[in-house]
Structure 1
Amino acid sequence: MSTLSTAFSGVFTALVTPFNENGVDYAAFDRLVESQIAAGIKGLVPVGTTGEAATLSPDEAAALVARTVKLARGRAFVLAGAGSNDTSHAIAAARACEAAGADGCLVVTPYYNRPSQAGLERHYDAIAEATHLPIMLYSVPGRCGVEIAPETAASLAQRHSNIFGIKEAGGRAERISELRAACGPDFILHSGDDALALPFMSVGALGVTSVVSNYAPKEMVALVDAWHRGDHATSLALHDQIFALAKALFIEGNPVPVKEALALRGQMSGSVRSPLAPLAIANRATLVAALDRFAGR
């Protein structure tokens, strides 16, 4: 198994970005990162969708990536978010991640523009040629309006040695098989959906890039580790425990519910940046009930 395959055979946490009245709450962020590493998380993903990258300034994004690298100290793989709907901005972000010492970058498809597959290839070609960092593609059509075709992923991986895998968040287990058929067994596949982590691993994904693990890192690690050691009964039991929590943490747009859950536990403020809004009162009651059931499992 390659070094990257070993690194990605586990849970990566899509880190939230805590805020306070002064901006980014770096002390709360530091505590979150340390708690993740202590729980056995294999990778940390700062400045992604869950980290509200769209509303971070370039300076804030760079500071969060550099801070994650410093805190990780080689104890976890740092896969920094470097996506944009403008290719030149994505290149600048990837170079900033490289300068900060990240181990790799996660590059989401351009949002709003809705490029063709040819446009996606041009976008990723330019980024791959601009950085030496390993690049994980990120396909999430529900947010971006465009999906990376398996053939496009295969073409990119063939041309660029630093494009090594994809975070798949299209909601269909068939995509994993389609990507494996197009890209081959060495192309790394990660589930981008907590509720589908186990089904995706059953057909070839190595792990999950998780939102739930911000709140329940030990449980997510236990689920994936059980699968990899062949204890499928334990993995299924953990999936059943986590499934309702995962659904509750997406009752509104990510990361609103997970930040509220962390706030209820006293880890940070639940603040989100506009245009996101605080969790609706009715949904808060549903979330609290799900958290209580999870805690009493």
Structure 2
Amino acid sequence: MTSNGTGPRRPAAVARVRDLLRGRVVAATLTPFHADGRIAREAVAGYAAALRRGGAGALAVGAHTGRGGRLQPDDLAVLVSEYADASGLPIIAGLALAPERPVEDAIRLGLRLRAAGAAALLVCPVSGASPADIVRLHERLGEETELPLMAFVLYERASGCQYAEETVAELLTLPWVCGVKLALLDNAVACQDILATARAVDPDALVMTGEDRMYGPSLMWGADTALLGIASALPEWSVAVLDAWTRGDHASFVAASTRLDALGRLTFREPMEGYVQRMAWIAAWQGILPSEVAVDPFGPPLPAGERERLLSAVRALADTPDARLCQSRL
């Protein structure tokens, strides 16, 4: 156990994960699906290697972008192992549970994911759980799995349970909680407040932005690491923003952030859950996923012709030296 004198004593594994991930982009991987919902495992290796080439410093497998809540435990464990082997990168495994399932199920799954090679768990919100139950779940998961945990603050429309500042503060006092990941979509006030709370409670915590529509601002508000669905197809665009901010190159930061914001406007729009399919289309256009498995069988139907319109706009964005000019035409 370790301590910096300002927070709880932390297991050594927590410090290692913080050192591995801080200042890096974690790409939230898509799960390659056939149209009938079967997982296309044969596509994983090439896709994982491409994300690494694009600059991802780690991968999140079975997060919201990968439809982790829809995956069977056996499938999730296999994907964690295969993404780890193919990429050579640290893997954060998504852990999503339905409210009716007991904590023991979460512990069993967490142990399986550790055996599969997960370096940490991204603990997804549990709809309907009380703050005390949420804290106890994280406490027991850490004690039983001995894996670092990222608490996930996901906007309520997607999660059914957006954590309050007070809950986040309590979670960050737990020894195995290494940080918090925010995905509040369009709630800038909550994003700023939770970032400030996290920094005050544990200055050494990983503060991960998952704000695909507020990425640049969330870095300016205090995030130091990113775990992004928008990095599932074009990780280098997200990496460019974080790298420029970290090295203090503000001109490059503004340019890279403007381009990333334009991509966010194209992909994170109503119907919001359609973003997974939109990112899969872009991944296929990039050649990192075969088009026949760039499918989200769980998303909402999208309008006819949206794929062609999306890819035309992304091509224009990629080809335009000044992203602001392209953004003005979206």
TM (norm. structure 1) is 0.90
| Residues 278 and 31 of structure 1: CA distance in aligned 2, closer, same or farther (over 3 Å) | farther
* Pairwise CA distance, 1:123: 2.3
Alignment partner, residue 201 of structure 1: 219
Identity score, percent: 26
Which amino acid letter does the alignment assign opposite residue 63 of structure 1?
V
Alignment partner, residue 297 of structure 2: 273
- Tell me, what secondary structure is at the counterpart of 2:152? strand
Alignment partner, residue 317 of structure 2: 294
After superposition, what is the alpha-carbon deviation per residue over 1:212-235, rounded to whole angstroms, capped at 9, x for unaligned? 222211121111111101112211
**1: distance between equivalents of 2:238 and 2:56?**
9
**4+ residue segments displaced more than 6 Å:** none
* Pairwise CA distance, 1:9: 1.1
Q: Which runs of 5+ in 2 are unaligned?
A: 5-14, 321-330
Which amino acid letter does the alignment assign opposite residue 295 of structure 1?
A
**2: distance between equivalents of 1:175 and 1:27?**
42
Select the residue among 232, 235, 240 that pairs with 2:258. Answer: 240
**2: distance between equivalents of 1:21 and 1:241?**
31
Q: Which runs of 5+ in 1 are unaligned?
A: none
- Tell me, what secondary structure is at the counterpart of 1:179? helix
Alignment partner, residue 95 of structure 1: 111
Moved more, 257-266 or 173-182: 173-182
| Residues 27 and 239 of structure 1: CA distance in aligned 2, closer, same or farther (over 3 Å) | same
1:121-136 matches, cutoff 5 A: 121-136=135-150
Contact residue 62 and residue 97 of structure 1 kept, 8 A: yes
- Tell me, what secondary structure is at the counterpart of 1:18? coil
Asked whether 1:4 is paired with 2:23, we answer no
After superposition, what is the alpha-carbon deviation per residue over 1:38-84, rounded to whole angstroms, capped at 9, x for unaligned? 122111001111111122222111100111221233xx221111121
* Pairwise CA distance, 1:181: 5.1
Moved more, 176-185 or 214-223: 176-185
1:19-30 matches, cutoff 5 A: 19-20=33-34, 23-30=38-45
**1: distance between equivalents of 2:236 and 2:259?**
13
**1: distance between equivalents of 2:73 and 2:17?**
28
Contact residue 8 and residue 42 of structure 1 kept, 8 A: no
After superposition, what is the alpha-carbon deviation per residue over 1:126-178, rounded to whole angstroms, capped at 9, x for unaligned? 222221010001010231122222332232332x3211101011232323443
| Residues 193 and 177 of structure 1: CA distance in aligned 2, closer, same or farther (over 3 Å) | closer
**2: distance between equivalents of 1:144 and 1:213?**
21
Contact residue 195 and residue 207 of structure 2 kept, 8 A: no
After superposition, what is the alpha-carbon deviation per residue over 1:234-265, rounded to whole angstroms, capped at 9, x for unaligned? 11111101111112122331312111222344
Over the residues paired in the alignment, what is the CA RMSD in angstroms? 2.1
Asked whether 1:56 is paired with 2:71, we answer yes
**2: distance between equivalents of 1:175 and 1:192?**
15
Contact residue 248 and residue 286 of structure 1 kept, 8 A: no
Select the residue among 90, 93, 101 that pairs with 1:80. Answer: 93
Contact residue 153 and residue 163 of structure 2 kept, 8 A: yes
Select the residue among 27, 44, 51 that pairs with 1:13. Answer: 27
Matched length: 291
Alignment partner, residue 174 of structure 1: 192
- Tell me, what secondary structure is at the counterpart of 1:194? coil
